Amino acid sequence: MRRVKQLIKRIPVLYGLAIRLQKYVQYRREKKRLKKLASVKPLRVVVGASGFCDTGWIDTDIEHLNLLNPRHWEGYFQRNSLDAILAEHVWEHLTLAEGFAAAKRCFEFLKPGGHLRVAVPDGYCPDETYIDGVRPGGTGAGAADHKVLYNHIMFSEIFVRAGFRVELLEYFDATGQFHYTEWNPSDGKIRRSIRFDERNRNGRLTYTSLILDACKDA
């Protein structure tokens, strides 16, 4: 077997085919897993999980559940079927138009009484170093792909327009004042938050997010 693998690596065409076959097998395996999990109750989905997912939630990534691809959603879920959706630092990678389209899709697939908990970098954070790290094209990890730097007014409007009722959980206002409303992590744990980000110690707000619940009322 080792000799076969070594031979494949020496022949670029065969090596490329082997890599594509491996990726295809992994893709099919993941798709099968998600279809099986889509029958569990309650039905709670993490969009853009990147390996982070608490017990009782279905972890997904863009390859299988793209917010902008209706076929992905229709392939796994029924409309009005999801109890909850969680998206931490996903919306900033979408344009404003894409963000609105994604909000409408979540509204469509959530059941009445369900909610979408979503977090993005906070554009009203008064820390200039923070802003430089998270702004589109900024210095932070992943910022090169950021499309929008939201404040709580801009971000809330997207979900209200999509039909949701919005509850703000954590955010800075235009004066730099931080606001916090108690929220239950079992309804969706945001790791980059005042409570769960290890950078926030001794009363210092080193890293927070703009966090809101978009609720689909019954």
Question: By C-alpha distance, which of 127, 113, 109, 209 is closest to 168?
Answer: 209
| 3-class DSSP assignment, residue 189 | coil
75-80 average pLDDT score: 94
Whole-angstrom Cα distance, residue 116 to residue 102?
Answer: 11
- 38-215: what fold? Rossmann fold (3.40.50)
Is residue 60's pLDDT more than 90? yes
Q: How confident is the model at residue 183 (pLDDT cuts 50, 70, 90)?
A: very high
Tell me the pLDDT band of 7, cut-offs 50, 70 and 90. very low
pLDDT band at 38 (very low <50, low <70, confident <90, very high): low
Q: What is the 3-state secondary structure (H, E, C) of 80-103?
A: CCEEEEEEECCHHHCCHHHHHHHH
* Domain ranges, ordered by start, for the chain: 1-34, 38-215
Q: What's the predicted TM-score (pTM) here?
A: 0.84
Cβ count near 142 (within 10 Å)? 13
pLDDT > 70? residue 190: yes
